[in-house]
A and B are shown apart, each in its own frame.
Chain A
C-alpha cells in the first residue's frame, strides 16, 4: 500500500499550476455550467471594480481592493451500505477592503450590483473612519507590483464534471472493501470538492482572475468489541490535496480501505504501549500535522507581533531569534511554498495581489524567516511580503494565513527501512490522530492512526493508546534521520482554523519519513 501511495504522490507532483497573463475573462469560464456562465456574463467585474475603487478614492482612502468571488462545493457522504448526504452549494458575493488614515475597514454583500458596490464601499470607509478616530499606530503597506493576470490550479479532471453517481458508487465500493474484514462494525466515507473562482482588483492597478480546485476525500473505519465495550477507529491516511478528481482515480483508496478495516480490528487486540522514552519513526501521513502545528504556526509573523494574542496565541519565535535560534538539527530545512504543485495553499497570487513565492523558514536548522503580508512586512527583516494574505470567503476579511510549509528530504536515497535499522527501541507511527499544542507552540501532544513497535532495528507488532509529548525545539533538534525524495509525500488540512472571526484555510505539508530520538511517549488509556 505504501509503495503505491508513494507512486501516486510522485505522479501527482508533476501536475503544475499555470500562469497566463491576460486582461480578458479566463478561457476556463467556458467550463462552468450554463446557469453559472449566464450569471458570470451578467456581472461585469471590471466595471464593478472601477466603481468600488473610484468611490473609495473619492472618500480619501490610501488603498482599496475588491474581491468578487464564487465558491462551489459538493459533498457526498455515506456510511456502510447507504448514502447519507449528496449536496451542492453555491456562494457568490463581493467584499471591499479599504485603508483609511492607517485603519482597515471592510464590508461585503451577496448582492453583486453597481448600486450595492457603491453602498458597501461607503460602508467599508465608514467603518474605517469610525475606528480611525481612536487608532494609535497607523498601518502601512509595503508596495506590490501591478499585476494583470489569470491563473488556474494544476488539476487534471474537474470533479464538478464527474457524475455524482460515479462518486456514490466509488464510496459504497470503498465501504464494502473496508467491511470485508470480520469485526469491522462501521465505516463512514465522504468526498468533498471545492471550486473557487476569484477576482481581485486594487487601487495599485492589479486585476487578477484565479480558478482553484481542491479535493477532500476521507473515511473512518470502526471496530467495536461489544463484549468488553472497547472500540477503535482507523482513519484514512490519504488526506486532502490541491488536485481534481484524478486524485480519486489514482490514489489506492480501495486497498487502503481494506487495510484500514484490518488495522481497526487489529487495534482492538494490539499491545498497550508501555509509557517511556522511545525513538520515533514518523511516516509523512503523520508528520505533516506535527509540522503544521510546531513549524507552520510559530513562523507566522502576526503571531510574533501579538496580533493573534486573543485567540490562536503568540509565538515562542520572537523577532530577536531570527538568524540566531537553532530551531532544529542541521539536516532540517523547512521551505514555505505557495507554488508547490498539488498542494492546498498553492495559488497564483494572494488576496492582495502578491505573486506566489517559495522561501526558507528554517535553513540548516536555523530559524531564518517569517510568513509575511503587506501590512506586516515592515516589521520583518526582509521588509517584503511573501504573499500570505488570504480570506476564506468574499464575506471574510483577508488576513495572514499559512502557505504550504514542507520539510525537505535528504539528498540521498534513504528509506524508511534505513531509518528503522538504526533504532533499538522505538515506535513507527502512521496517520494523524489527536493533536494539541500550546498558544506559543512550545509544548505539544500528538496521537496517530497506527503504531508499530520497533525492536533492534526491525518493525514488530502493533501497539495501541500511543501519544507523544515534546517541546518544539527539543523535538526538531532530536531529528537525526530524514528519508530521501522517494519517501516524500504531501499531507494537509482542509480546514485550518485561525483568526477572529474564525476562518478556514486549506494548507499542505510535504515531508519525507523522519527519525526522532528519545521522545516521551504516554499511554493515553492509562487511568
Chain B
C-alpha cells in the first residue's frame, strides 16, 4: 500500500527526530508498480514491486552528508541518519550550501488516480489479450509493454517544511511487425488515469502503421521537408523545458550561450509562433506541486513567441546572479500561438516531403548547437502533391534542434498532445505538437526495420 499522508508525516518526523545536525532534509517515497510485457503474440514477463525508500541529507557547519535506505524499522532509520552525519563530518564545506526551506504552501496538481495505482490484474490481462488478438487478426506479430505505477512522496525539513503528494502513471506501447519482418508500426500513449488510456487506439495505430509501411522504397539521404508526428517530436524534445539551465548558459557551455559570457535571453531563437512553458496545473499533464528544494511550483514561461524569455535558475545560481530561483519547470509544454494545423492538413499542403512517426537511439553529438543523431523507426512515408505516395526505408539523421525550430524552418504547428519519448518507455510525458519543417537532415540510409 502507498503511504498515507499521516504515515508519511510520522516517518519524516521520526527521521528528523534522530537528526542532530543544524539543518536537514528528509524524503520518503513509497511505490506500487506492476507491468505486463508481451512479444511474439504471447505474454513474456509480468511482475509487481512494492517499495518504500527514505533519504536523509544533513548539513553540519555547511558540510553535507546523504544516505538512503529502504529498511524502515527504527534501528535502520537511525543508522541511516547516523551515516548521513558521519559523511557530513568528514566532508569539506559545501560551497553551494543554502539553508533548507521553512514552511511553504502548496497547491495540489491532481495527478493521481486510485484506479491506476491499484490496477486489476485480470482487467489488464484481458486488455493485453485483446491487443494480441487484434494483431493476430491483422496478420501481424505484436509486442508491447503495459505498466502502472502509484507513488506517494513526502519531504520535510528541519526548518519546518512538509510536503506530501501522490501521483500515478499508466502507459501502453505496442509494436506490430509483419511476419516477414519487412515493416513495423509503433504507438505509445500514457496518462495518470488508467480510464483515459485508449488501449484500442494504441493497438489500432501500431497495426495500421505496420500494414501501411509494407514494401518500402529506398530514397537517397539528404535534406528533405518533413512532418513530424507528436511522437517523433517527443523523441527529440521530451522534457525540453528542463534543458533551459541558466548556469550552463552563463558558463558558456549551452546552446543558449553567447560569446563573452552572455546568453541568448531576449533573442528570437525559434519560430515566432512557438511557446515553451511549464504549467503545474495543466489538466492533461499535471506536474508536481513542488520544484527544486521544495519551492512551490508556478507556471514558468521559457520561450514566448519564439523569444527566449527565461532560463532556469537554481537557488544557488540565482543567489550568485542576484535573481529569483525559478519555480519550475515541473512539466514541458510546446504550443503554437496561432490556430493549430492537423497532420492531415500538413500532408495536404506538402509538395514534397517525408512523414515521420518515431525516432530511435537519439543521442547528443555537439552540445553547442544541440546537434542530435538518431534513426527513424516504425513507419516513414514519402509525400508528394499533398498525398502520401509510399513508405520508405529508414534513415539516420544528424539534426540540430536549434536549427529545427529556428525562424524560417518551421512551417506549421499542430495541436499539443500528451506524448512520451519512446526511449523513456512512456515513463515521461510532455505536451507536444506535430511540426512541419522546411529542412530535416538525413545523413545515411538504414536498412533496419
Contacts and interface: CB of A to CB of B under 8 A. Distances in A.
Given A231-B368, A439-B448, A443-B448, A136 B42 contact: yes
A224 interface: yes
Interface stretch (B6-14, B48-56, B283-291, B297-305): B48-56
A21 to B, nearest CB: 31
A505 to B, nearest CB: 16
A259 B104 CA distance: 48
B69 A134 contact: no
Contact of B373 (A132, A436, A439): A436
Q: Which 4 A-B pairs have the closest CB atoms?
A: A106-B47, A438-B448, A134-B129, A87-B66
Interface of A: 35, 38-39, 82-93, 95, 97, 103-111, 123-124, 126-128, 130-137, 163-165, 168, 172, 185-186, 222, 224, 226-231, 305-311, 313-314, 316, 318, 395-397, 399, 434-443, 445, 447, 465, 467, 469, 471, 500-502, 520, 522, 524-525, 527
Given A35-B76, A443-B396, A501-B425, A465 B68 contact: no
B68 A87 contact: yes
B137 interface: no
Interface in B142-195: 143-145, 147, 173-175, 177, 181, 184, 186
Interface string B106-150: 000000000000000110111011001000000001011101000
A101 to B, nearest CB: 11
Contacts of B446: 438, 442-443
B46 A439 contact: no
Contacts, number: 273
Contacts of B121: 126-127, 130-131
A465 B366 contact: yes
Contact of A306 (B39, B53, B261): B39
B253 A186 contact: yes
B145 A310 contact: yes
Given A92-B71, A307-B39, A310-B173, A224 B253 contact: yes
Contacts of A185: 251-252
B47 A88 contact: no
Interface string B54-87: 0000000000111111110001100110010001
B361 A439 contact: yes
B388 interface: no
Contacts of A134: 43, 125-126, 128-129, 132
Interface stretch (B90-98, B230-238, B271-279, B322-330): B90-98
B443 A135 contact: no
Contacts of B373: 434, 436, 445, 467
A524 B70 CA distance: 45
A442 B449 CA distance: 10
Contact of A226 (B47, B177, B259): B259
Interface residues of B, number: 96
Contacts of A186: 251, 253
Contact of A35 (B47, B75, B92, B398): B75
B47 A105 contact: yes
A319 to B, nearest CB: 12
Given A229-B257, A443-B396, A436 B47 contact: no
Contacts of B145: 310-311, 500-501
A86 B84 CA distance: 9
Given A93-B70, A127-B121, A137 B42 contact: yes
B362 interface: yes
B446 to A, nearest CB: 4
B351 to A, nearest CB: 24
Contact of A469 (B143, B258, B444): B444
B40 interface: yes
A231 B258 CA distance: 11
Given A136-B42, A442-B448, A230 B368 contact: yes
Contacts of A226: 252, 259-261
B70 A500 contact: no
B44 A86 contact: no
A445 B96 CA distance: 39
B144 A395 contact: no
A135 B184 CA distance: 23
B348 to A, nearest CB: 31
18 contacts: A82-B95, A83-B91, A83-B94, A87-B65, A110-B50, A134-B125, A134-B128, A229-B368, A230-B368, A309-B175, A316-B448, A434-B363, A435-B363, A437-B361, A443-B447, A500-B37, A500-B147, A501-B33
